Structure 1
Amino acid sequence: MPVVELKVDRNLVCSDFSGYKLAFDSVPVLRQELGCDAYVLDPSSNQFSLLHTELFARHNHLVADPWMRHCSYFFNKRHQLVQCNYDLQTGRARAQRVVLTVDYRDQGDGELHRSGDYNYTIVFVSERFCVICDGITSYHLVDTGDRTRTDVQEWQRITRSPVNNNSGHRGFALFDARLDVLQERKQISLVAGHVARRDAVGQDQTHVYYMDLTWARWTHSPTNDEWSYNICQRLETTGSVHYCAFEPRAESLVIASNRDVQTPEERRAADEAAAARLNSSGDHDGQLENGGPPSYSWSQTDNNVLIRFNVPSTASAKEFNVSGSKTTVVVKHLDEVIFDEELYASVGDDLSAFKLAENGLELSLTKAEIQNWPRLFAQKKDDVAEEVHPMEAPPLPIPSLQDPVEECDLISADEEMKMVRFNLTSGCITHTIFLGPPPLVLTTTLRPGFPAAFATRQGVDASIWLQMYQPSRPDEWSVRHEGQLHAFGYVQASKVVRKFTVCSPDLDYVAICDPVRYVLVYFPANNSADGLRRRNGPPVTLGKQKLITLGNEIDEILGITTANNLITVLSKKELIHLQV
């Protein structure tokens, strides 16, 4: 499987960038009250997994039109799609108007929206078409007409199709949709996700939540002017989906996640292999089941003693019980005593400091007196091999107290991000990009009709990448360095409380939106900083930072869109335009 490298264009990197300076320039703010509150669904009491939380918390309820970035859309409580248009010539917001009303009762099951359904998701695929997922079971293909016209016009629904009736799932979120013309036929590719649950293999978990992705297509027939719908592929991942987009011509799907992406067949084969290993190891995995004493080793420092037991890989921490006194230790596995010995010297009263690690069960004891034990037991035992290994001191949580602790420093190395390209023809993953532990900085649409761009952290900067596809060589795939947000990787890592991270199409600015009141806007353009220079060095280059306070009346920020020199923010009762 080819591994694609992220090749940074050095011409886009500013090595002399010194940071951002707070600017006190006023930002014009235009407010519009909503005729009807925005429609927002929260997770139900049964949707408590991390995937559910991310799906609802990261949902952007305000969607920009890629062909008209100053025009945004949202759904209100009446299930109406509302258009919010900003006039670039006058610098004023036009009156909001309803362009479509979704008949949410027509789901094929005769039921209304209920607890546990997902929010509406919208993707514009061309100048005349958009796809709406109602958050329940259906896609809606809509003919928008000429969206550049300012007169009143109603959008028309062309067709409606269930996402996947065979899955039995209710609640879908549309991740991406793409329109291509192949052999004089229009083809719309769609991918939607549902957070599902299945039984786990093993004793540590009872069930596993995973993202079930459904890849489908609409194909237009010129003869009868009808759209046929068919499901192409299903994919699964237990990790978070940070990026999901089609490449041009939609022959492959690109997904970024912190866990492996598999087909249902691959996952079932892996589960069967894991179950077979558990069954085969049940008879000989360690000596606990055979009634014999488990093998162990021990190590010590001046203050502590660590005893390591080799236990079955299927054992869980709940199956063990540790008791005893200051001089004795008794370890039980289920109802069987596997260790009952008198120690060389006294230890502390706390015998609960045990955990299951990769190399077995670890029991940590605190010595009553600082001394070196020549052996573990009070009496020398010839039939027990005692091995003394120096116990490593625990590492410091911070390598240097002078270095700042950032979000990326607290991420486990096991949570490594990977971006994979799944090809439909071959039915497997053809390319992989290893992104490292930090998650993606942001995803955005830079140009209409192109796949979504994504940003990764490169040092202190954030690099913008865009997919590259060559129709003449479909087996090759790579990404191109499109732009650089100077020092923004460092800036975002310091913002713990944030909800949305967006940037303008021309990469002139990038914004971080808090859940409630604040929007921080950063302009990474290189400025001369009024002629300031480093001592015996080059001139200082600075970016500009603006802090915008939206007011206490904003209870929660539900969505945000960007255009050149414009940021639009949606709350439950108000729409705000920021002229940046």
Structure 2
Amino acid sequence: MAVSNYSLKVNRDLLDPHFESYRLSLDAIPTYTIELDAAVEELKLKDSQYTLEHMQAFGMFNYLHLDPWYEDSVLFVDCKGRVLSLNVTLDTALGKPREVYRIDPDSSPSDGCLCASLSLTSATWAALSNGMGHLHLLRTGKRGDSSHNKWESLFSESIGDPFVILHSVSHVEGGVHCIEVLVLRVQKDPEETKGSGFYVGLEWITVSNAAEKGQEKSYSLRKRRSLRGRTVPHYAALEPHGTGLMLASEKPFTFTHMDGQPIERPEPEPMEVEKTDPIYMWQQTAEDLTVCVRLPQGVTKDAVQFSLTADNLSVGVQGFSPLIHGQLYAAVDPESSAWFIKDNKSLEVTLQKHIEGPLWPELVMGDRRGELVMSDEQTAQIHERLKHLTSEDLIATSDLEKPPCNSQELEDCDGFPDDSSSLVYFDREMMKPTRVVNLGSHQYMFTVQSDPTQMPCLCLRHDVDALVWQPRPEQPEHMWEHVATFNALGYVQASKRDKKFATCAPNFSYASLCECLRRAFIYRQPAPVETVLFNRRQGRQVGQVAKQQVSSLDSDCPILGFRATNERLYILTSKNLHVLKVNNN
């Protein structure tokens, strides 16, 4: 199956073109604080972990984990190796986080160790990394409010270099219980001579129990698939039945190994690009434009279909699709324009510019089938205008103490993101992309789990708004569904220079951003107002208002974790867990 290019189809019913702004609300947000018995196990990046990839993967790690199967249940790992769980039912009677599992204390930390990471695989299973290369699969039992069961480890094995868990799913295949785990590493390639030499490695691990009866607890590695890329993916999730993998990243990923063996792929044949002649040629001066359109052989004047207004041009031949059709780059004077057939081969059109002087970059907006032919005089003028941008000298400045910038000395974080960012769906069997969406300027914002039985949603910036997309791999033709919109959130988050985390409620009732220290911002969906309000500028009554609220924590500790439920926000620091009551249902 060849790769298919797709686009994200926006649901216009979920957009609000009349949205004005968020109104600051001074309503207090009830905040409750739990003091932790031991500090959170925070990773301090070492001198050897200096690249942008290390910072994105580990320096911006979210240490707080939300249980999507049980509302208002969060988990984290402390410095004693304890996995702690907090279930909130009554805000005014918060208890202490309860220990559900303890990482083996005999494991001695190494120089390359990472932070412990956790993924809630299903309603009764979890995947845990101790940060030193060991993968633990834990049977948790039902993790409800009244459940106080300790988690049981049914698989524990070293799988190589330290890693963090990105996602995991549990499913039954052919009567065999399978757990799929996706892990990430930032590794050094000794053969790489360019740049830092580090690359991002993803590994898709499949663990299953024995097929024989009575061997329920015997879990073992079944498959290991390795991928390699240049950037940390913004979004990475496995399909619920383990049949595919979805990635959103700025640089592409490719499968490189299967069970430790390199994957051999045939060399792609060079692509032959069909060269097509332009349908029309055009020239321009400061006063007018001349367009020459090639006509089919034997066409007479009566068969020509010509239409011209001040803003639009249409040229065609009866029985054929239009040769030129669309909005002109700028206005023309139809009364002073004309057309005629030249040598029975081409149709020549003369257009008089309505405003003389400026040169047009294109004739018809968005039409790339024509070719602009410039005169020698115009080419010389352009060369003269751009002359100051070039130099024959290697160092174009006389101040040798301040040499010009060398682009090769720039770090990755200094560059501007290009438009190669893409959202890709990989098929498990073929181990190559089958669906690709070019994200272009649609900046990734955050990931949220709306439905635990579905893949996590991803939020992308669309113009000034933030749009939430739900992947639906069971619908190949409509794999990404637009399910919610946060008005102007894309514009708002761009102004938050100290932003560290972003998230939203699973029911999309509000979105929230938090800074590195202390402050959290809450942006609520528009809601009806009880009083009568009028927009003075437009002279109309306002029926709905979107509120913004700001919460400032009484803490100077950096924020390490940030999660949202429909009713509460959870903010984790090294010493405290803060619970913010956002909604009262």
What TM-score, normalized by structure 2, do the two folds share? Answer: 0.71
> Secondary structure at 2:185's aligned position in 1?
strand
Is 2:439 the counterpart of 1:435?
yes
Q: Which residue of 2 aligns with 1:210?
A: 199
Say whether the 8 Å CA contact 2:65–2:74 is kept in structure 1: yes
Name the CA distance, whole Å, in 1 between partners of 2:12 and 2:53: 37
Offset, 1:517: 0.8
Change (3 A) 1:533 1:354: closer
> Secondary structure at 1:249's aligned position in 2?
coil
Name the CA distance, whole Å, in 2 between partners of 1:211 and 1:73: 27
Deviation per CA, 1:421-460, whole angstroms, max 9, x where unpaired?
1112112111111111453111010111221100011111
Change (3 A) 1:40 1:349: closer
Is 2:291 the counterpart of 1:263?
no
Say whether the 8 Å CA contact 1:62–1:559 is kept in structure 2: yes
Name the CA distance, whole Å, in 1 between partners of 2:422 and 2:565: 30
Offset, 1:3: 1.2
Once the two structures are superposed, the pairs formed by residues 106-505 of structure 1 within 5 Å of their partners are 106=107, 112-150=108-146, 152-163=148-159, 165=160, 170-199=161-190, 205=194, 207-222=196-211, 223=213, 224-225=215-216, 226-264=218-256, 304=388, 306-308=390-392, 348=398, 412=416, 414=418, 416-470=420-474, 476=477, 478-505=479-506
> Secondary structure at 1:264's aligned position in 2?
strand
Change (3 A) 1:354 1:533: closer
Say whether the 8 Å CA contact 1:416–1:438 is kept in structure 2: no
Deviation per CA, 1:134-183, whole angstroms, max 9, x where unpaired?
111111111112211425332111111233x4xxxx21011110011222
Say whether the 8 Å CA contact 1:200–1:207 is kept in structure 2: no
One-letter amino acid matched to 1:442: F
> Secondary structure at 2:433's aligned position in 1?
strand
Is 2:549 the counterpart of 1:546?
yes
Of residues 347-356 and 75-84 in structure 1, the stretch that sits farther from structure 2 once superposed is 347-356
Q: Which residue of 1 aligns with 2:580?
A: 578
Name the CA distance, whole Å, in 2 between partners of 1:255 and 1:305: 40
Of residues 497-506 and 553-562 in structure 1, the stretch that sits farther from structure 2 once superposed is 553-562
> Secondary structure at 1:3's aligned position in 2?
strand
Change (3 A) 1:350 1:18: same
Of residues 225-234 and 556-565 in structure 1, the stretch that sits farther from structure 2 once superposed is 225-234
> What is the percent sequence identity of the aligned residues?
23
Q: Which residue of 2 aligns with 1:390?
A: none
Say whether the 8 Å CA contact 2:425–2:433 is kept in structure 1: yes
Q: Which residue of 1 aligns with 2:509?
A: 508
Q: Which residue of 1 aligns with 2:104?
A: 103
Name the CA distance, whole Å, in 2 between partners of 1:441 and 1:305: 36
Offset, 1:95: 2.8
Any unmatched runs of 5+ in structure 1? 107-111, 274-297, 310-320, 323-328, 330-346, 359-409
Name the CA distance, whole Å, in 1 between partners of 2:145 and 2:386: 80
> Secondary structure at 1:180's aligned position in 2?
strand
Say whether the 8 Å CA contact 1:464–1:481 is kept in structure 2: yes
Name the CA distance, whole Å, in 2 between partners of 1:452 and 1:265: 26
Name the CA distance, whole Å, in 2 between partners of 1:69 and 1:306: 61
Change (3 A) 1:434 1:348: same
Name the CA distance, whole Å, in 1 between partners of 2:98 and 2:78: 11
Name the CA distance, whole Å, in 2 between partners of 1:99 and 1:354: 58
Change (3 A) 1:240 1:438: farther
Change (3 A) 1:517 1:357: closer
Change (3 A) 1:38 1:353: closer
One-letter amino acid matched to 2:134: S
Change (3 A) 1:411 1:510: farther
Name the CA distance, whole Å, in 2 between partners of 1:157 and 1:426: 32
Offset, 1:248: 2.8
> Secondary structure at 2:58's aligned position in 1?
helix
Say whether the 8 Å CA contact 2:231–2:250 is kept in structure 1: yes
Name the CA distance, whole Å, in 2 between partners of 1:244 and 1:499: 19
Offset, 1:348: 4.9
Change (3 A) 1:228 1:465: same
Say whether the 8 Å CA contact 1:499–1:515 is kept in structure 2: yes
Name the CA distance, whole Å, in 1 between partners of 2:538 and 2:447: 40
Deviation per CA, 1:77-134, whole angstroms, max 9, x where unpaired?
110111112114x65323321111110435xxxxx11333111111111111111111
Name the CA distance, whole Å, in 1 between partners of 2:511 and 2:155: 37
One-letter amino acid matched to 2:506: P
Any unmatched runs of 5+ in structure 2? 269-381, 409-413
Change (3 A) 1:177 1:302: closer
Offset, 1:412: 2.8
Say whether the 8 Å CA contact 1:43–1:115 is kept in structure 2: no
Say whether the 8 Å CA contact 2:21–2:488 is kept in structure 1: yes
Change (3 A) 1:537 1:193: same
Offset, 1:575: 1.1
Offset, 1:263: 2.4
Say whether the 8 Å CA contact 1:412–1:437 is kept in structure 2: no
Offset, 1:495: 0.7
Say whether the 8 Å CA contact 1:104–1:134 is kept in structure 2: no
Say whether the 8 Å CA contact 1:120–1:133 is kept in structure 2: yes
Offset, 1:193: 0.8
One-letter amino acid matched to 2:123: E
Say whether the 8 Å CA contact 1:510–1:523 is kept in structure 2: yes
Name the CA distance, whole Å, in 2 between partners of 1:563 and 1:265: 39
Change (3 A) 1:69 1:560: farther
Change (3 A) 1:476 1:217: farther
Q: Which residue of 2 aligns with 1:520?
A: 521
One-letter amino acid matched to 1:250: G
Offset, 1:564: 1.3
Say whether the 8 Å CA contact 1:161–1:229 is kept in structure 2: no
What TM-score, normalized by structure 1, do the two folds share? Answer: 0.72
> Secondary structure at 1:499's aligned position in 2?
strand
Q: Which residue of 1 aligns with 2:372?
A: none
Offset, 1:300: 6.0
Q: Which residue of 1 aligns with 2:19?
A: 17
Give the root-mean-square deviation of aligned CA atoms.
3.0
Name the CA distance, whole Å, in 1 between partners of 2:384 and 2:407: 18
